[in-house]
Structure formats: C-alpha cells, structure tokens
Structure 1
Amino acid sequence: MSCVLGIDIGGTSIKAGLFTPEGKLVEVKKIPTGAIDDEKAFAEVCEGLSSLVVGAGFLPDDVSAVGLDIPGPVDDGGRVGMLPNIRLDPDGLKTAIKHEFGKAALAFVNDANAAALGELWQGSARDLSSFVMVTLGTGVGGGVVTGGKLVCGAFGAGGEIGHITVNAGETRVCGCGRRGCLEQYASATGIVWLYQQACKADGGEHPKPEHATDTITVFDACRDGDACAERAIDQMCDTLGLALAQISCVIDPAAYLIGGGVAGGFDLFAERLAASFRSHCLSTSASARILPCSLGNEAGMYGVAYAALQEAAKGE
C-alpha cells in the first residue's frame, strides 16, 4: 500500500501530512527547523519525515509522492524563484528527499496555489472547475484554477492578487516596492492599520490590537458595535471587492474561496464583501459565489500532496 507526503514549509518549522492516495489524511507531524540550506538541516527534515512514515506503519519505499509548498514563485516547470522570507535551498532539499524516498515523485508548489489545489481536491471547491483562492493572512495571496487546472503563469507569478492596485493615490509603500496594493488593505496587517487610522481620526477610546496582525481584536470590536472597527472592515471589503471584480474581468471564475487567518471573521464581512463585489463587477459576473474555505490551515498540505500525485501519474 502506498502513501503520499504533503509538506508545508514555514520559517521555523515544517508541517508534514501523511495521506492515502485517495486523499485521506492519516497523520500530521510538526518538525522544528531553522534555515533549511545545509546537509545537517536536510538530514533533520528527512529524519522527521521518515519517523512520520514509519510511525504510521509504512516503509520509505511506500512513499509514492512528496509535495512541498513554497512561500515564493514556482513556475509551470516546478522551478522555484526568489525566496525573500525564508532560508531554503530547494534543490538541496529535493536531492535529500529523493535519496530518502527513492521511489517518490516530487513536486514544488507556491503556498497559495497549494491551498487552492487542496480545496479543489478535498475541500470547498470539489465541485468547481473554475475558482480563485484568496488567502488573507499577514499578506494576501491567491491561486487561480480554470478548467480544473492551476494557473501558475510563465514566471510563477500567477495568482499574485495581493499586488493588484486598488488605490493609485496611496503614499505608503507596499512590501513589493509599489504603492496602493490590495495587500495594504485586505491583509491582517492592512485591516489593523485601517482600524488604527480610524481610531486616530475618531480620538475616542477603542480596544487596542496587541500586535500588527491582531485582527481578532478588530473583529471582536466590530461585533461589539465599535464604529472604527466597522469602518475598517467596510474599507477592507470595498478594496477586496474591487480587486475581485477586476479579476472577474479576466478570469470570470464561478467562485472565490476565502482562506487564511483573516477568514476567521468571514461571518462578519461575507455580506459586505459580496455587496462590494457586486457593486464593482460587470453584471455578467455578479453571480460568482464568495465562499469560506473548508480545510483551514491544512489546505496547503492537501494541495501539495495532490500536486505530487499528479506528478507521479506522469511517470506511470
């Protein structure tokens, strides 16, 4: 019996899921890591993965496919681009994993694209052939699926919806070096910033976020009727709805799936976001649905496992 590994790579740890080929998650293991860019680090990762496999009753040769999600661009050929936020040698790690699991096919996938594939395989998008995954976290990412296939783009930048311009007059600089990107308004950091600006303008007493991505405080304040929190969420929905309307002009998806940490407040902003989208989009796209993701933080693990299975099928 074969199994599949789906690996979510983070800055301080990796989260590995062991799956059946049918998509059942058998077990999850968190493996602490630092930089994954030398032989010692590769060995520690492989040791953790082997422990997961053997602990679940499998042998290394039972692993038919291994998928890894990457916080950066990955092109259609699986080549990894620049990784500004993590120290990782993808080629070195690939070689080490291939040595550990000699019969496994390997696949690298951008993290937001991986989440889209996960939802397509086992989540909210199982019955959709065309949708856009919108990941709202510290930043804003996206994954585009059309005709049941992921669109990575020629340079690996397909789905970088966080850098659609929604305010050409913005003076603040986005992390990408441009101004007025969606990420500056619809990410966790963007929502907290909008709330703080509203509180500053109001001058009254309001709950204070504990850190730059503390949307929980903002959402709780909104539920308690705080006008500044209401204003921030309205602004977030207006800019996100505008961006989705622009995407619909190009992709015309059947649905948008909202994931990431900010999706914890989906009940608060779902109707506002839908109204904003309808106010900005062409009438022909107005019936596109806006749905919450169902796999949560495990969507990426599911997605890379699915991508790796597809890669394995090519070699059969």
Structure 2
Amino acid sequence: MTESRKLYVGLDVGGTSVKVGLFLQDGTLVGKGSVPTPPIVDEAGYNAVTNGIGQVLAEADATTAEVLGIGLAIPCPVPADGIIRMQANIQIDAPGLEAALHAFCPQAAVKFVNDANAAAMGELWTGAAKGRTSLVFVTIGTGVGGGVVIDGKVVAGAFGAGGEIGHLCMNPSEERACGCGGKGHLEQYASATGVVSNYLAECEARGVEPIELTGPSDSKDVFQACREGDEVALAAMRTMADYLGRALSLIANVIDPELFLLGGGASASADVYLETLVERYRAYAINVNADTPIEVASLGNDAGIYGAAYVALQAAEA
C-alpha cells in the first residue's frame, strides 16, 4: 500500500461471534471477518478482539496507524455518558476493552453503542435511510428493539433506554409477563415470539389444532401459513400488525421521524405483514405524519458493523 487511508472499524459484539468490519470514510466496506465471542473480561478476551481486527487489517493491506476510530455495537443499554451499567447476554469489561483498543490503536477514538442504535446508524450511513437525518429502526426478532436517530445522532437517553420500544406498555390489562417482568409490552405481541404466541392463542380460542412449529420464536412457520391462506395465522399476523402500527403511531407523535425501518429476523417476512402494518399505522396516526414511510432495512446482519464504524467516525471527527 502506498497511500495512507482514513479507516474506521466497526465491531458487532454478539453472543456467539464478534463481527469485524473495516470501512473507508465514505462507508465503503474494505474488509470483514469474525471471531468467536470470548468472555471479554481479561487479556485473553481483549486479545481475541484485537487479533480479529488485526487479521482484517492484514487482509486489507492496512495498518493500525490508519485506523482513526473503533466503534463497538453491544447488546445492552449504552447511556449518553458511555458508562455501561447493565449487561444481560454478554460478559464484557468495557473499560478494560477500551484500554486494550487504545493500546492497539493509540490514535483511534473508541465508542460504544447499543446494537439496535448501531443498526439504525448503519442504515442512515449507507443503507435504506441514506440521505435522511432522522429515523426509527425497529428490530423484530425474539424481542422488539429499536434505534432512534435524530439530526443524524443516536438518541441513547440518560440511562441507555432510548429506543427500548419493545417495552412500551400496549395492553395494561395483560396478565402474562414480558421477559423484563412487565406486562402487556409491545414485544409480547409484535416480536417473532409474539407472533407465535398470537397464533397459539387464536388456535385455542377457535378450538383448532395448530400447525407444527419449529420453536417458540420461529414466526417463519406462521408467516408461511399466512402465505398459504391460513385464516388463523392471518389473524395472528393482524394482531401483530395492529399492536406494532399503534406503537409506531405513538412514537411518531414524539419523534416524528422521516422514516421507520424494519430489521431483525422477522423483517424477512415483511411481504406478509407490511401492507397490513402500514394500514394499521395510518388508522392510528394523526394526519400530519400518517404518510411516514415504513420500509424494510437493507443492510441485513451487517447493519451493526456499519453503524458501529459510523459512530466511531463521528467520534473521531468531533
């Protein structure tokens, strides 16, 4: 390599792997890799992460001296002060990892961001929201997550709860508990798990035998039944769309984004429910924002590395 580049690293720290992306300033992906997620609490864990970055750099014929920012998308709340106080699904010593990354790339800005917020930023940088300045990213998977971006910046919140739309209380009379301990939360009805739950409840109410389901959060079976005209599955889908449409209308009255984007595993089945979701959103929304677009995200599982790198770029340029 003969000319120095400005490079940014995006890390998406998941339960099973740490995905690594290497990007140019304009969002061009120039290298990608992954390493199994270790307990990131000691030198061995820190080295696993830095070695993963080093391997991607080597494959791209780049050096650590060219890296101006490193962003880390992690599955836990990241408040505005950047101090991580709660983590449920990973073991990570954030200060220790940050120190290791600074030692690895002394000139690089290091920034943590919630994984859903990172996905939102990735879509804003080079994905379906490119050219916009505000959006709400909705991840529909085992639960429902969210990423809120206003004026090109993530809304993390004082305590890291910015974008926790899955825990909006949509049904105060619900007796079942959400995974968080609350009751009647959006993700109980609109997540992949919620779609299966809706379906089983419809089967019980109608006295019909359910189709064979792969698992408690595998909504693909229910959505496929919708495609085949199964009225019970369609009713479950309409419940999902109604709750989600009403939630988005409430969010729109607070955030008023330019765009809603749907991501997560269940977004792959948006062909089944998107039209109904838009119809229900418009039924609940006020006139001024009833036409806010609701679209499917475009970066898929790479949204996190894109967004983490973009957050790092912003931090480096601040």
Q: What TM-score do the two structures reach when normalised by structure 2?
A: 0.95
Which secondary structure state, in structure 2, belongs to the residue aligned with residue 47 of structure 1?
Answer: helix
- Paired-residue identity, %: 47
| Distance (Å, rounded) in 2 between the aligned partners of 1:26 and 1:196 | 45
Q: Deviations over 1:263-291 (max 9, x none)?
A: 01111111100111111111222111111
| Distance (Å, rounded) in 2 between the aligned partners of 1:278 and 1:62 | 48
Structure 2 residue aligned with 1:49: 53
Structure 1 residue aligned with 2:165: 161
Q: Does the 8 A contact of 2:38 with 2:48 survive in 1?
A: no
Does 2:106 correspond to 1:72?
no
Following TM superposition, by how much is the alpha carbon of 1:177 offset from its aligned partner in structure 2, in angstroms?
Answer: 1.5
Which secondary structure state, in structure 2, belongs to the residue aligned with residue 16 of structure 1?
Answer: strand
| Distance (Å, rounded) in 1 between the aligned partners of 2:100 and 2:215 | 38
Q: What TM-score do the two structures reach when normalised by structure 1?
A: 0.96
Which secondary structure state, in structure 2, belongs to the residue aligned with residue 217 of structure 1?
Answer: helix
Q: Does the 8 A contact of 2:31 with 2:59 survive in 1?
A: no
**Which residue of 28, 46, 58 corresponds with 2:62?**
58
- Which stretch of structure 1 is more off in the superposition, 116-125 or 26-35? 26-35
Structure 1 residue aligned with 2:252: 248
Structure 2 residue aligned with 1:237: 241
Structure 2 residue aligned with 1:211: 215
Which secondary structure state, in structure 1, belongs to the residue aligned with residue 131 of structure 2?
Answer: coil
Structure 1 residue aligned with 2:200: 196
Provide the aligned length of Structure 1 versus Structure 2: 314
Structure 2 residue aligned with 1:291: 295
Q: Deviations over 1:31-79 (max 9, x none)?
A: 0123221221111221121111112101121211110001111122322
Which secondary structure state, in structure 2, belongs to the residue aligned with residue 278 of structure 1?
Answer: helix
What amino acid maps onto 1:156 in structure 2? G
| Distance (Å, rounded) in 2 between the aligned partners of 1:147 and 1:212 | 38
**Which residue of 271, 277, 295 corresponds with 2:275?**
271
| Distance (Å, rounded) in 2 between the aligned partners of 1:147 and 1:88 | 30
Moved over 4 A (4+): none
What amino acid maps onto 2:76 in structure 1? G
| Distance (Å, rounded) in 2 between the aligned partners of 1:128 and 1:204 | 46
Tell me the C-alpha RMSD between the 2 structures. Answer: 1.3
Q: Does the 8 A contact of 2:178 with 2:184 survive in 1?
A: yes
| Distance (Å, rounded) in 2 between the aligned partners of 1:254 and 1:119 | 13
Following TM superposition, by how much is the alpha carbon of 1:152 offset from its aligned partner in structure 2, in angstroms?
Answer: 1.3
Following TM superposition, by how much is the alpha carbon of 1:205 offset from its aligned partner in structure 2, in angstroms?
Answer: 4.2
Which secondary structure state, in structure 1, belongs to the residue aligned with residue 87 of structure 2?
Answer: coil
Does 2:230 correspond to 1:226?
yes
Segments of structure 2 that go 5 or more residues without pairing to the other structure are none
Structure 1 residue aligned with 2:182: 178
Following TM superposition, by how much is the alpha carbon of 1:216 offset from its aligned partner in structure 2, in angstroms?
Answer: 1.3
Q: Deviations over 1:102-128 (max 9, x none)?
A: 221111001111011111110111122
| Distance (Å, rounded) in 2 between the aligned partners of 1:17 and 1:171 | 43
| Distance (Å, rounded) in 2 between the aligned partners of 1:35 and 1:215 | 31
Does 2:12 correspond to 1:12?
no
Following TM superposition, by how much is the alpha carbon of 1:203 offset from its aligned partner in structure 2, in angstroms?
Answer: 3.5
Structure 2 residue aligned with 1:312: 316
